[in-house]
Amino acid sequence: MCLLPGGWAARVSEREVGGLPVRLPSVDVHTVGAGGGSLVRRDAGGALRVGPESAGADPGPACYGRGGGATVTDANLLLGRLPAELPGGLVLDRDAAEAALDGIDPAAVVEVVNAEMLRALRVVSVERGHDPRDFALVAYGGAGPLHACALAEELGMEAVLVPAAAGVLSALGLAAGDERRDRVVSHVRPLGEVRDPPPEGEADLRYRGQSFELAVPLGEGLAERFHRAHEERYGYADRAREIELVAVRTAEVVSGPDLELASGEPQGVSGPAVVEQDGSTLWIPPGWEGARDGPCWVVTRE
């Protein structure tokens, strides 16, 4: 999950990977072990668990017919939200999916995995001072569009966007994205002592005595924009308190290749409906309607 305020992905100066701090600039992405291949099981107390263990691509979900365990994909198949055959000629085995779930309600599986994704969506939105109702939800991955409308409804969001290339959107972004080289200069001194900062880039700022900083774009009115950013993130600003400049970040960016995605024929559908795409499947539940707009499906509440 990643929030795009103003249409741009936020970046962070460090993050945790496998429980270890990595101090490198990166897109502010929050991950959770919940996907189409997430394995379904009951724990020692009988509670239903989904993920983070995954069946992977091989053997994959039970319905692939390769001896895999019960997964979210199997639950979606039994709920009628997947076609009988996937692109490439893979015929899904409903009997194998039913046997693997062994009496577990597939609707309950979807509820559990949705709850896990909802928690992650709230981390990148509500917990950071953003109202999800002000955003549209972009769904990608092979299974993401199967759950998007339910997640949007829980968060009070009105629109879901599903690119036609949703199944390979991450790879597409890697191929077409800009090449960026960051340079970081440490300061750790009062902002008022800094003379002639670069006209473009970002400043890592904090109130004196704080342990964590906020990244604010360089330019006129830097101090006031930090106060506003702090208030938006933490709910308060202290304009009488000294601001400390921790570091200045600049970057050299080489633009990625031009990319033009093919547009499909205009199409509209009302839920409940299953929309098959080349690399993903979109489930439109009752109360929602979808329209194909160029290289993207736009799904809104009726």
pLDDT of residue 16: 82
Contact 215, 163 (CB under 8 A): no
pLDDT of residue 109: 95
Q: What is the pLDDT of residues 173-217, one digit of tens each?
A: 888 888 988 888 989 999 989 888 898 889 999 999 998 889 899
Q: Give the mean pLDDT of the chain.
A: 91
pLDDT of residue 95: 95
Q: What is d(CA 55, CA 37) in angstroms, rounded to the nearest whole number?
A: 5
pLDDT of residue 255: 92
Contacts of 159 (CB under 8 A, 6+ apart): 136, 137, 152, 298, 299, 300
The 10 Å CB-count burial string (b at 16+, else e) for 172-204 is: beeeeeeeeebebeebeeebeeeeebeeebbbb
Q: Which residues of the chain have pLDDT under 50?
A: none
pLDDT of residue 222: 93
pLDDT of residue 271: 83
pTM: 0.79
Q: What stretch of H or E contains 206?
A: strand 202-207
- Output Rg (C-alpha) for the chain, integer angstroms: 23
pLDDT of residue 299: 95
pLDDT of residue 28: 87
pLDDT of residue 261: 81
A 10 A CB-CB count for 142 gives 18
Sign (positive or negative) of CA dihedral 155, 160, 166, 167: positive
Q: What is d(CA 186, CA 278) in angstroms, rounded to the nearest whole number?
A: 47
Complete DSSP assignment for 228-260:
HHHHHHHS---TTSPEEEEEEEEEEEEPPPP--
pLDDT of residue 20: 87
